Amino acid sequence: MTTNPCAVLSVEEEQNILARIHDPRIPSAEVNVRDFGAVGDGVTLDTQAIQRAIAYLHRQGGGRVIVPAGRYLTGSLALLSNINLHLDSPQSVLLFTTETTEAHYPLAFGHWECSPLWNYRALIYACDAQNIALTGRGVLDGQASDSVWWHWTHQIEHAWSTSARNLQRPASLRLREMNLNGVPVAERRFGDGHYLRPMFIQTLRCQNVLLEGVTLRNSPMWQVNPVMCRNVTIRRMTLRSHGHNNDGVDPESCCDVLIEDNLFDSGDDCIAIKSGRDRDGREANIPCENIIIRNNRFADGHGGIALGSEMSGGIRNVFAVGNEFDSPALTYPLRLKANALRGGVIENIWLRHSRVKRVRDAVVHATMNYAEGVYGSHLPRFRNIVIEDLEASGGEYGLFIEGLAQSPIEGLVLKDIRITDVDHPLHAAHWGSGVKMENVTINGLAYPRPVQLFIRGLPQVGDYLRAIAQLPGDDEAVLHYSWWLGKTAEGPMTPLGEGDILALTPTMAGRFVRCRVNHGEMSLLSKPWLIQPEGSIDLASGNSVNAGILRARG
């Protein structure tokens, strides 16, 4: 069996997931929305005509509802079982009305940032349906802008919003409290006057879902949000929307999902895998699992592929293969985010054959200290994460990967990685057992190598200095420490001794001490410390000398 370096997942398991994913089986019957009264002139409201066509064909057993060339002004549309809404031409445009009221976006059960509620129905909506599809070569334009939907919140990327009032915030905080307090979903009613923007496409508790070929633009909120669905395919779509929270594809507590050959250009995360939030997510306890993400292109976005942070039900078995990331505005190609308030486990993740041409902040950014951070009673866990065959250039960090002291990252494997031209090669914190680095180079330096060498203690005669270094991806017991003494900060130095602790003797007063840590041929040298006479640093009496004075600046 071919396995990944962590020996947790396999190519065979990936193929097993793919074998279960298939397009919905929809009858071949067809109707044309024009035959049900749709005009397509961009002025006449065609909502009822399109919905009549969907309902009629559904009653007949299903088939394709054809939307021919034209600009069809519409409100929210509900897909029903065995229906494929097909935009037949590149000139087939669904233009969603800018009259943002319940008259056009009626109140319906849905999820908003992973909390169930009653709110504006998504622009394209389905609930408890089977065998549904949205396909074709046309465009769905949500018509969100600085004066429609987006002005309900604000984001700093847009000059128009820097001083705008966040109308959405009171309702979003109220929903969060309802979640934490276990308020029944039937009592969570929003809509007009509450400013919680609807999703563009939301399918809830559906089976056999296909989204293929169409272009989405100007979304009010998240663009594609399947919730608790099974067997979902999102293929060859173009998702362009730069409003606040305009995530591209957000599978939430779904099973068996294929996301392939799409173009993402987003105002938030391009793909964000989620599984419920806070109390709601923990009580539902439905993971998002068995996800294949392959051959996609990522332009702008906060994260290319993000896992979390709404992941209280857990995320597992994610295969990301052959994806390309290229934009100076893309913050993180791979992003894992969690905290102790939301909890959850991210496990069995295999990212391979990735190409990152340009990036803004970090090639890989993983943190358990997101948003509320450690302030909570539900510690998250990251385990069995493999990043393999990755090439990248540019950004502030190469790898930024941190767990929590109470919850270190386990089973992290970094293999065949080459990153160049970053400001800071590696930030590593709270890496636990089973961590390995193999054939990793960042800015031309090979890893594992010692990083973050700290000197603890008071640099005065009669005291001790202790060296503490971190060796990511290996056993720190193999580190070798040596101490060096010199008359000047930058001049030649002679060896003092070995080991991580150095006793400071009278002969060292007025001289400079450095520590070197070695791992094979890899080494790291501390800055020089000026050793003070005995008694010159008295912490108890408050006359201690500032460490910035004690340490020479080279």
65: domain CATH number is: 2.160.20.10
Query: Does 427 qualify as catalytic in the annotation?
Result: no
Query: Does 302 qualify as catalytic in the annotation?
Result: yes
In the chain, count H helices and then E strands.
Answer: 5, 43
Residue 361 forms part of a structural domain:
no
Residue 186 forms part of a structural domain:
yes
Mean pLDDT of the region 508-519: 96
Please give the share of the chain, as a percent, with pLDDT higher than 70.
93
CATH at 492: 2.60.40.2700
Residue 396 forms part of a structural domain:
no
User: Exposed e or buried b for every residue in 299-337, given b needs 16+ CB within 10 A?
Assistant: bbbbbbbbbbbbbbbbbbbbbbbebbbebeebbbbbbbb
pLDDT digits (tens, 9 = 90+) for 275-307: 999 999 999 999 999 999 999 999 887 889 999
* Statement: residue 527 has pLDDT above 80: yes
Residue 259 to residues 143, 293, 349, 386, 496: CA-CA distances in angstroms?
Answer: 25, 5, 15, 19, 59
* Statement: residue 210 has pLDDT above 60: yes
Instruction: Tell me phi and psi for residue 40, to 5 degrees.
Output: 75, 30
Q: What is the pLDDT of residue 137?
A: 98
Range in 78-82, 116-120, 191-195, 402-406 the model is least confident about: 402-406
Q: What is the pLDDT of residue 157?
A: 45
Question: Of 283, 299, 387, 269, whose CA–CA distance to 343 is shortest?
Answer: 283
- Compute the distance between CA of residue 369 and CA of residue 485 in angstroms, rounded to an integer: 40
pLDDT digits (tens, 9 = 90+) for 134-163: 999 999 999 999 999 999 986 544 444 455
Split into its structural domains, the chain has a count of 2
Higher pLDDT among residues 206 and 330, named by residue: 206
Residue 97 forms part of a structural domain:
yes
Domain region containing 479: 452-531
CB-CB contact of 148 with 100 (8 Å): yes
Residue 293 forms part of a structural domain:
no
Residue 231 forms part of a structural domain:
no
Q: What is the pLDDT of residue 118?
A: 99
- Compute the distance between CA of residue 300 and CA of residue 185 in angstroms, rounded to an integer: 35
Residue 1 forms part of a structural domain:
no
Among 247, 268, 280, 300, the active-site one is 268
Q: What is the pLDDT of residue 138?
A: 99
Among 111, 302, 365, 427, the active-site one is 302
* Statement: residue 479 has pLDDT above 50: yes
Q: What is the pLDDT of residue 373?
A: 81
| Torsion angle (degrees, nearest 10) of CA 66, 72, 74, 80 | 0
* Statement: residue 546 has pLDDT above 60: no
**Residue at token pair 């400001």:** 423
E runs forming strands in 487-525: 493-498, 501-503, 512-519, 522-525
* Statement: residue 492 has pLDDT above 70: yes
Residue 223 forms part of a structural domain:
no
Residue 416 to residues 32, 298, 438, 472, 552: CA-CA distances in angstroms?
Answer: 53, 22, 6, 15, 38
pLDDT digits (tens, 9 = 90+) for 84-128: 999 999 999 999 999 999 999 999 999 999 999 999 999 999 999
pLDDT digits (tens, 9 = 90+) for 216-254: 999 999 999 999 999 999 999 999 999 989 999 999 999
